[in-house]
Amino acid sequence: MANDVPADDALDDAPVDDAPADDAPAADALEDSDDSSPTIEPATSASSRADPLAGLRTRITRLRASLVPRLPEVEPTRWRRVWLLSFFVLRRWIIEDRCGGMAALLTMHTLLSTVPFLGVTLLIVGLMDPVSGTALLEDIFRSLVPETERAAQMATAAMGLAARVNVGNLGAWGFLVTLSIAFVLFSTLEQTFNRIWRVSRKRSVLVKFTMFYTLATLGPALMLYSLAQPLVAGVTRMVGLPVLTTGAGLVLLNRYMPHTAVRWGPALTGGLVTAVLIEIGKVVFGIYATRFALQTYEGLYGPLAVFPIIIVWSYLSWMVILLGAQIAFVVQRRRYIALQGYLNRYVRERIEVPNDSGRTAARLLLAICDRYSRRGRGLSPEELGERFRLALDRVSELLGQLHKHGYIVDTDTDDEAQVFVPARPLDQIKLIDVLVLFDHEQSQQTRADLLGKVFEDLDEARLRIVAETSYAELVRKPRG
């Protein structure tokens, strides 16, 4: 310690004016230097240019984060909520459900089934009143094609082809094939809507064909009855207007095509939005087809130039129709989507750690058993998703596995939503069976090392804990 004191004293006694004295000439030199010296100006210009660029990049980043949400938002403002729901629809429409591919498939079936379907309708109408029925069908067909100069010609040509569809020309087998082609389009459309609504169940072939047969026969019959009655003939003609006809058809499509319960409000919203977009699209696409497309295609295809235009228009129409189905889904499930932070499933999977499937499925099954034991009814996938804040896709997948292996059963009817109840007595449903069902790693052979021994001990310990635990015991235990 004695040696440290002199050192400190030496530092304290050192002259303090020497360093400033040496630096003074340098400072004077800087002060006397010319303001236009190139040694200072470049650095100042670079920093002045960097600040605006950095600020611009920051604003762009914030704008992108605001327009393209990547994180869940709990309580957005009203207009922010509208944007989040709109962007949710667009992501689901284009990326998550890949509606472009589904629209292409529907377009192919449409081209194959339009003329046969019109022919069957004409055949039914022709048995009653061919003049008025055919005139109304021509008006409706013209309302479905773009407003081009050749719309009337296309309608007349299609109706002419359809007029040849009769039992005499086709024969019994040909008539059945014609019906089958139209029925395939109906089935494809039903599968597409079920996929949008995440409905895993399917209608039986008998029920599906009954719906199709009713649509193909009752519609023309009601149309003819309206034309035959003088008091409602004017109303029928008014309903035949493009917007009303298209809108009513799309509302009914959104309401009854999915094999689940769709409320009238969401179906009305999706149908009317789609009808307006189709009418706007007909005007815009008609201008494009008349002024540009026909001139281009006529040089390549000659008289067949109209067919590429019809294909493109059919594809765009199906894209808009599927967009309306997405809108109806989001409007009906907007509360559930809000609980998920307004993020699509594939976006959430990037930021969330996957949950344990076995424990999640066991929890869902317990909720179903508890509701059935206490109130005598089941739970729907939507209720389970809202309760446990799980994505509807994930809930449907887990419930599908439980249903497939006989743990739950769907008790709904065709006009109601899915409702699941236990498929067995609760004392016959073992917790360990549900956990093992979803624990795929247990089926893998572990290596004969220390870690493998630890895994075996864990499996044995879990088996001892829950081997005899049934859902009857879990339901009887008081909830905390």
DSSP assignment of 122-138: HHHHHTT-HHHHHHHHH
Q: Show the domain range for 368.
A: 355-476
Please state which of the ranges 80-84, 233-237, 251-255 shows the lowest mean pLDDT.
Answer: 233-237
> Hey, which of 112-121, 203-212, 272-281, 338-347 has the most confident mean pLDDT?
272-281
| Amino acid in the structure at residue 202 | K
Judge whether 343 lies within some domain: no
CB 369 within 8 A of CB 426: yes
Q: Do 209 and 95 share a structural domain? A: yes
Q: Do 329 and 180 share a structural domain? A: yes
Gap between the Cα atoms of 369 and 373, Å rounded: 6
SS3 467: coil
At 18, is the pLDDT very low, low, confident or very high (cuts 50, 70, 90)?
very low
Mean pLDDT of 78-103: 93
pLDDT at residue 220 in the model: 54
Which of 285, 306, 336 represents a domain boundary (last residue)?
A: 336
pLDDT at residue 461 in the model: 81
Q: Do 369 and 277 share a structural domain? A: no
Q: Do 363 and 312 share a structural domain? A: no
Which of 308, 336, 364 represents a domain boundary (last residue)?
A: 336
Q: Do 314 and 210 share a structural domain? A: yes
Q: Do 312 and 456 share a structural domain? A: no
At 206, is the pLDDT very low, low, confident or very high (cuts 50, 70, 90)?
confident
Burial of 250 (0-12, 13-18, 19+ CB in 10 A): buried
Judge whether 407 lies within some domain: yes
Nearest to 377 by CA among 385, 387, 367: 367
Nearest to 318 by CA among 100, 111, 472: 100
pLDDT at residue 480 in the model: 52
Structure tokens at 90: 């667009």
Q: What is the CATH number of the domain that holds 408?
A: 1.10.10.10
Gap between the Cα atoms of 178 and 200, Å rounded: 29
Model confidence at 221: pLDDT above 60: no
Kindly list the distances between the CA atom of residue 344 and the CA atoms of 86, 180, 274, 331, 351, in Å, as whole numbers in the listed order.
Answer: 12, 37, 22, 15, 11
Burial of 142 (0-12, 13-18, 19+ CB in 10 A): middle
Judge whether 389 lies within some domain: yes
Judge whether 152 lies within some domain: yes
pTM: 0.69
SS3 302: helix
How many domains does the chain fold into? 3
pLDDT at residue 110 in the model: 83
Q: pLDDT per residue over 334-359, tens digit each?
A: 988 888 889 888 888 777 656 678 88
Structure tokens at 467: 């081997």
Judge whether 83 lies within some domain: no
Structure tokens at 420: 């699941």
Structure tokens at 43: 């650095």
CB 404 within 8 A of CB 362: no
Judge whether 85 lies within some domain: no
pLDDT greater at residue 51 or residue 437: 437
At 23, is the pLDDT very low, low, confident or very high (cuts 50, 70, 90)?
very low
What is the residue-averaged pLDDT of the chain?
75
Mean pLDDT of 32-39: 46
Kindly list the distances between the CA atom of residue 202 and the CA atoms of 187, 195, 260, 466, in Å, as whole numbers in the listed order.
Answer: 10, 11, 10, 36
Judge whether 260 lies within some domain: yes
Q: Do 369 and 422 share a structural domain? A: yes
pLDDT at residue 379 in the model: 92
For 408, list phi and psi in degrees, rounded to 5: -135, 165
Beta-carbon-side half-sphere exposure of residue 215 (alpha carbons within 13 Å): 19
Q: Do 370 and 231 share a structural domain? A: no
For 228, list phi and psi in degrees, rounded to 5: -75, -20
Q: Do 328 and 204 share a structural domain? A: yes
pLDDT greater at residue 254 or residue 211: 254
Gap between the Cα atoms of 150 and 219, Å rounded: 27
